[in-house]
Each structure stands twice: as C-alpha cells, then as structure tokens.
Chain A
Amino acid sequence: MEPFVFFGGKGGVGKTTVSCAYGLKCARDGHRTLVVSTDPAHSVTDVFDQSFDDSPRSVEGIDGLDAMQIDPEDEVTRHLDEIRQNLSEQVSASMVNEINRQLEMAHGTPGAYESALFDRFVDVMRDADDYDRVVFDTAPSGSTLRLLGLPDLLEGWIDRLMYKRRTSIDLFEKAAVGNNEPRRVMDGDPVLRRLEERKEFFEFAGSALHDDAAFFLVLNPDELSLNETRRSIDDLREKGFAVRGLVANKLTPSPDPDENGRGARYLRERVETEEERLETIRSEFEPPLVAEIGWRSAEVKGDLLDDVAAELDVETAVEPPTHV
C-alpha cells in the first residue's frame, strides 16, 4: 500500500486511537513508521503517555515508531516570524510598519490555520525519507477535506498570479526607452521566483496526495457519523481521492446470552441497532469495512493499543513513493 496513510472522520470517533494502532501495527511488522497528528488537543500524547512536539520523536518502548504533533497556531507564528525576518532585511524602515499591517491582516484571515497545517503536512511528506510509512491522524472531516482540495485550487491560482506579474513586468520593460532602466526586470524577479517555488510545492503536494496516499475513514455506528462518512466519501471522490476502507470504532459489546438484567437488555438492543447500521455500511457503502473495533472500558493505551491494532484488517506492506 501507499507510504502515506490518512485517517479521517467526524470529531470524536477515535481517529487518533485508530491511527496510533495502525502506526503500531506497521512498526511491529518492521516498517519504520511516523505518526503525525494535526490535532492541537494533543491526543497522541495521551495514547502513548509521552509528550511530543512538532519534530518526530521516538515512542518509548516501541521500536521503529516515531510520533509528532503539529500545532497550527505555532506554525502560523513561525511563518509570520520568518516573513518578518525577511521584511527587516529587505524593506526600508519607513515601509516596515505599513507592510507589517498588511502582514498581520493576512495572518488573521480564516484560511491561515489551514494553510499552515497544509504547509507542514507537505513538508513532512517531503522529508519522509527516513520512514517507510507515515500515518496522518487528521483533524475532523470538514477542514481536512478542504486541506486536501487546496493543491489544485492553489496551483491554478498561482498560475494566474504569475501571468499577471509577467504581464506588468513585460510592459514596464517595453516602457523603458533608450538608456532608461526599466522599473522592473523579468530576470531574477524575486516575486516570480517565490511564486515559482510555491507552485512547485503545490505540484508536489498534489501528486503526492494523488499517487502516494491512501485514505481511510473512521466512523461510529450512529446515524450522524454514518451521514458524515457518506458525505466525506463523496467529497473525497469528487476531489479524485478514493477512500480505501472504513473503520467502525466504539462498537457496543454484546452481553452473555444468559444475562437478562436491565443492563444486558439495553446492551442487546444497542448491539442490534448497531448491527443494522453495520449492515447498511456493508451493503450501501462502497469502501469495504476493514475493521470493527469494540468499546474499551478503559482509555486505549499501552497493551490495549496492541489489541486494537490486531483488530485492524489493514495491510502494512509498503510500496516505495513515486514522488520524492
């Protein structure tokens, strides 16, 4: 299977648990694995009982497994600082304030978080040489889907920007008569160079996501989760990504047949409705149901994670990436 594996789904369905379990499974099968979480709630820290930051760190007690957490807020700040640094080097003091205001505005826009996340995502994919497999535990559905749609959108948009810039430089060059220096020159224009770099970045992202990534959706056996999954599958397909499989998490355990108390009756009823929903998934949803994971009474960590990993019927063999 592809080197990059994404787990997505509605909030609270257990994406982190499933991603960590899958990461563990890959590591146990001898693949060097990195689990990347984009959830600022730091749930990976809870699963492995160990704190992580935005650079890969090995998970104690498990060979070949590293983990990292991306915090969009930190990323935005880092991006801002980088530009500020650049700004003080390039721009005269009188203009710095003016431009700074514009900069602050740009980082306050609604898309900033998503863009920051996306940048980091792609950076991780680019520098994934050390790993056979990278498992992404994505943020809840909506924003992730938008993230994945970004490259196509942005590539076209950068193209249009570059066209505009070229047109104006071309005109400026034509307007310079005789010995006059043109106000802008095409050769070595830093703006065009930056745009070009960005374009390559998006192209890489687009092809890596299309050719080297597999998508799985995690869901719970309830109506809301089912509906959202259905929408996500359609959305992803529209963007040209196919969902490889579905993981049903938090299934209610059925009581022993001889039990007949109130609790047992309640459980039996729940199991029945859940079974119906699973049946719906099997018959109506195209991606196959690759795992059915029961509720655990305790937080899933330590040995329990191994149990969950065993229930995941997702292959771990790795194909080399085609775009690096």
Chain B
Amino acid sequence: MDLADRIESFRQTLEEWLRGLYHGMISHPAYEKIEKEAEDAEDAFMLACFPDAFGIPSPVSYYTAELLPYLEDEFESWERRLWDRGTYLERKGQQYHF
C-alpha cells in the first residue's frame, strides 16, 4: 500500500466520522425536533377530532368517527403521548438539545 492509498483511506475514515459526528450532533437532533413537532401537530389534529375523549362534547364527532378506522397508529401513539407527557413545557424542552 503506497502513501497515496493510505492518505485516501485515512480521508475516507475521517469523512465518515465527520459525517457521523455531524449527524449525531447537528442533523439528528434537528430531525428529532421536526418529528416531535409533527407529533404535536398530530395531537392537535386528534384533539380537534375527538374532544369528547376529554369530556368536551363535539357536534362533529359524528363525522370524525368515520376517520377512526384509519387512525389506528395515530390513536395509539396519541394516547401514549398523553399518558407520559408531564407538562407541555417539558415536552417542548425535550425538543431542545443543549
């Protein structure tokens, strides 16, 4: 293996590490943040659809009930998120990596 090859393989390793580091420190948390934001938006949607889950009667639940068969995943994760969410502040705090 001559020098040029060794430099090349070193550069490749370095590039991989740097990309991993960038992904772990910068981009991954950012995507996580977006995902959390998406979940929040979904929660808002679910709440608008089924306020009666919280005892708020909604004249439109009759229509949103039609969506229930298609909302299995959403419904399950909605409930899960509602259970382990301490406060809204905490949830928003999780979205920031200091």
Same complex for A and B? Answer yes
| A contacts, CB < 8 Å to B | 76, 79, 83, 86-87, 89-92, 95, 98-99, 102-103, 105-107, 109-112, 114-116, 154, 157, 160-161, 164-165, 167-172, 174-177, 183, 190-191, 194-195, 198
19 further A-B pairs in the complex, CB-CB below 8 A; given A79-B62, A102-B50: A83-B69, A91-B72, A98-B79, A99-B71, A103-B65, A106-B64, A106-B65, A109-B62, A111-B60, A111-B62, A115-B63, A161-B45, A164-B45, A171-B38, A174-B38, A183-B35, A191-B67, A191-B71, A198-B63
Interchain CB contact under 8 A, A195 and B67: yes
Interchain CB contact under 8 A, B68 and A167: no
Q: Is the interface of B mostly helix, strand, loop or mixed?
A: helix
Q: What separation, in Å, do the CA atoms of A86 and B68 have in the docked complex?
A: 9
Q: What separation, in Å, do the CA atoms of A194 and B50 have in the docked complex?
A: 16
Q: What 0/1 readout, one digit per residue, does chain B (30-53) give for beta carbons within 8 Å of chain A?
A: 011011011101101100111011
* A–B pairs, 26, beta carbons within 8 Å: A83-B66, A98-B79, A99-B71, A102-B68, A103-B65, A106-B52, A106-B68, A109-B52, A109-B59, A109-B62, A110-B57, A111-B58, A112-B61, A114-B59, A115-B59, A115-B62, A154-B63, A161-B49, A164-B48, A170-B38, A171-B35, A171-B41, A175-B38, A177-B27, A194-B66, A195-B67
CB-based closest 3 A-B pairs: A111-B59, A171-B38, A168-B41
A87 closest partner in B (C-beta): B69
Interchain CB contact under 8 A, A99 and B68: yes
| B2: chain A residues within 8 A (beta carbon) | none
Q: Is the interface of A mostly helix, strand, loop or mixed?
A: helix
Contact of B88 with A by CB under 8 A: no
